[in-house]
Structure 1
Amino acid sequence: MKRPNEQLANHLTRAGMSRGELARRIKSKAREWNEPNVSPNVTRIRFWMEGEKPRTPLPDIIADVFSDHFGYRVTTYDLGFGDGTRADAALVYDTSYTATVRAVAELGRADVDRRKLLAAAPFAAVAGVGPSRDWLMNTLDQEPTTGPRVRLEDVTAVKSMFETFQRMDIFQGGGSGRLVLAEYMSQHVYPLLRRTHTEEVRRALCEAAAEQTYLLGWMAYDSGQHGIAQRYLIQSLRLAEESKNAALGAHVLAGMADQATLLGDPQEGRRLAQAGRHGLSKATSPACLADLWCLEARALAKLGDATAASRAVAQSEKAYERVRPEEEQAWAEFIDPAYLHGEHAMTFRDLEDSSAAETHAVRSIEHAHAQKRARRGAMSQAALAVTHLQRHDLDSAHAAGLRTLTLAGQVKSTRAIEAVQDLRRRMQPFGKNRLVADFNERAHALVQAA
């Protein structure tokens, strides 16, 4: 005999939704999940409340509907539907280390298998609230650890692989090697987390796994797969907490902040960046601090606060003055003048301060060219082109746009392609000018090839 689903009924009552309204929201959310055939009615919802369990992926879709409504993550378990799918479980910042290891291992396997459900899982705007709060509170409560760093062969091997894949991402884009890294993590690293024997070894492995999991998330982010990226970042943050490496956790929050701002929620992006900065109070990483200030500036620019954004850029530059690369952790390698000036250029671009934007863009381009970093060069060339458009200098914008196309074609990066598409949109007010037509034709060919 079926038992009434009191948890679902309670959430519906608290939300103040009718069954018809819930059905409409589920249908709308299903379209975001690329599940157009999902179309429940009031009768079907009554059956669920009477104890019938909806078919996959409906439990996850319903959880997303309530999460959006309440502003915090509601899981399938909260709704009385039992454990969620792999996609849903990876959005939970679990207090249990065992559950975290299981969630990240299942996420890796799902990623390798390219399951439809994981690929279709959308970015959940509210999912970062709880993890950033819990990480920050636990980090501030930690006592600094002392003693020599554990140097075991398996940890060293994992870290060496991290450096290899990170450089692949920096120079070739996130679309290069991500699935190979996912396979390596699923087959080698995540199983290691289950086989540690001492607390010191466990922490060292958690740190190495957090670095790699973050990189998987960042590569997915750079490839435009934001739902997958978000899940990796949340689990990376949890592993970073286990490692007691506060700087690494702050670094993960920087990635989450960047993603939130990019996807249209700069207020959340700013909050995540601030949480990361507060968590650095017991850790030393000027590079990470510079990055967090930089990303807060990006969010503030989107919010239209020019004064606060300019102040944050200045704080970022001040923090970077204290950076000693040899003292920073491996994951901070990309936080350098090419990256920071490129991000500052986009901050001032968004503020329509073309002079400041041009200054930073040119500096970024110079550093990126010297390092042969095509992705960063493409994004900064695009920012430079926009500064010329803001001054109505179409000739210079066209020249910078062509350089953007050349560089974007050298990497597998959705962000580089998006920079090209953004430039196409910004050229539209110039009408049918021959330079606009030429750029559009070349850009179309690049986008189609990508």
Structure 2
Amino acid sequence: MHVDATRRAVVGAGIASVALTIPAWHDGTGRAHAVQVNPHARIGQAEVSSVNAMIDRLKVIDGEVGGQYARPMASAFLTNTVAPYLRATATESVRKAMLTAASMACYFTGWMAMDEGAHGLAQRYYVKGLELAGAADDHMAYCHILRGISVQAANLGHGAIAARYANAAADTAPISTPYMRAFMAGQQAHGHALAGSKGSAMECLHETERALDKLTSPGGAHGGFNYSTLAYATAQVRHELGDTKGSVESLHEHFKLRGPGESHRSGLIFGGLLAERQLAIGHLDAACATWNRVLDDYPAMHSGRVDDRVRSAVKCLAPHQANNTARHTRDRARVLLAQRGV
């Protein structure tokens, strides 16, 4: 199958200290059929809908307060609700729909673990999600999780691995709508830029822009990609290719385009990145103002990735303690980190 070819391209790639082995479709199907069925429990479409609704609710909680709060809830939901549903009897269509729902529950739980900084745990959830997507014969869920692994690799600074998984996700995508092309190509651009492949990065970025220009409706259920996301992807590509000033401009554009439904956490992470890059081009006062906006909302956010951005403020401002504003901002960040215990 086409997916098996893609699998061969990514098997054995490692992130951090964990080597990922991407399960083939027959691996997932075999393991799904091996699960012992509970003859006393039966599920229907109502149970599938309830799992999908709970996933949507947990995604909102994750974006608003962070993975450190949301992931334990998601893990408990997987163990106490989703796992028993997978053992229940069901029609073939309901069984596959529940497998897809379970695969995405694993993916989003892995995303929350990544946000905590528990990268090995995140990868284990991702691999389980891939197994379940294969068992469901759901190419869309499978490629979405591959893209998520690429995002994790990019966050950890592993450019070649990020590009490999982003390309695998794009190759695996079962449809090529403008939305899917934008969603996949934007991540490919970041991966290629991290890997130092300027030509490929710019080509993917232009493809993302062309795809968005063709959109007539919002993205699908598994993710969102819009012009604010494109501006962020552009900022990351520019930064990785050495254009820090251009990256600052693109991040400003991102914040101008952000909609009310976008993740509160991503606003804090991207704000921290903006401040770091403002400082890098010599705009100390602007950087402090941006960091202080992040610090205003930091106490309500429980995210390892946001913690990292606040720690970065402390480190980056250390050489500027002769400046009253910089000293105040750094002291404020240090106090908030101490209160958090991180």
TM over 0.5: yes
1:374 to 264, 281, 287: 264
**Residue of structure 2 equivalent to 1:329:** 220
Q: Deviations over 1:134-184 (max 9, x none)?
A: xxxxxxxxxxxxxxxxx8111111111111111222222222322122112
Q: Distance in 2 between matches of 1:252 and 1:194?
A: 23
2:125 to 222, 232, 240: 232
**Residue of structure 1 equivalent to 2:291:** 401
**Residue of structure 1 equivalent to 2:56:** 163
CA-CA distance at 1:278 after TM superposition: 0.6
1:203 to 96, 116, 128: 96
Q: Distance in 2 between matches of 1:323 and 1:365?
A: 21
Q: Distance in 1 between matches of 2:291 and 2:70?
A: 28
Q: 1:343 to 1:175 in 2, by over 3 A?
A: farther
CA RMSD in angstroms comes to 3.0
Answering whether residue 106 of structure 2 is matched by residue 213 of structure 1, we say yes
Q: Distance in 1 between matches of 2:133 and 2:140?
A: 9
CA-CA distance at 1:432 after TM superposition: 4.3
Answering whether residue 284 of structure 2 is matched by residue 352 of structure 1, we say no
CA-CA distance at 1:261 after TM superposition: 2.2
Q: 1:315 to 1:210 in 2, by over 3 A?
A: same
Q: Distance in 2 between matches of 1:96 and 1:378?
A: 37
Would you say the 8 A contact 2:28–2:134 is kept in 1?
no
Q: Deviations over 1:58-109 (max 9, x none)?
A: xxxxxxxxxxxxx9399xxxxxxxxxxxxx9996737153536889xxxxxx
Q: Distance in 2 between matches of 1:379 and 1:311?
A: 26
Give the letter aligned to residue 289 of structure 1. R
Give the letter aligned to residue 321 of structure 1. D
Give the letter aligned to residue 331 of structure 1. H
Structure 1 stretches (4+) deviating beyond 6 angstroms?
A: 88-92
Higher alpha-carbon Rg? 1
Give the letter aligned to residue 256 of structure 1. I
Q: 1:160 to 1:202 in 2, by over 3 A?
A: same
Correspondence list, 1:47-446, <5 A: 72=12, 93=23, 95-97=27-29, 99=31, 152-280=45-173, 282-284=174-176, 286-325=178-217, 328-332=219-223, 334-368=224-258, 370-371=260-261, 373-428=263-318, 430=320, 432-446=322-336
- Between the aligned residues of both structures, percent identity stands at 25
CA-CA distance at 1:237 after TM superposition: 1.4
**Residue of structure 1 equivalent to 2:41:** none
SS of residue in 2 equivalent to 1:204: helix
Give the letter aligned to residue 354 of structure 1. T
Q: Distance in 1 between matches of 2:230 and 2:68?
A: 22
In structure 2, the gaps of 5 or more residues are: 1-10, 36-43
CA-CA distance at 1:392 after TM superposition: 0.9
CA-CA distance at 1:370 after TM superposition: 3.6
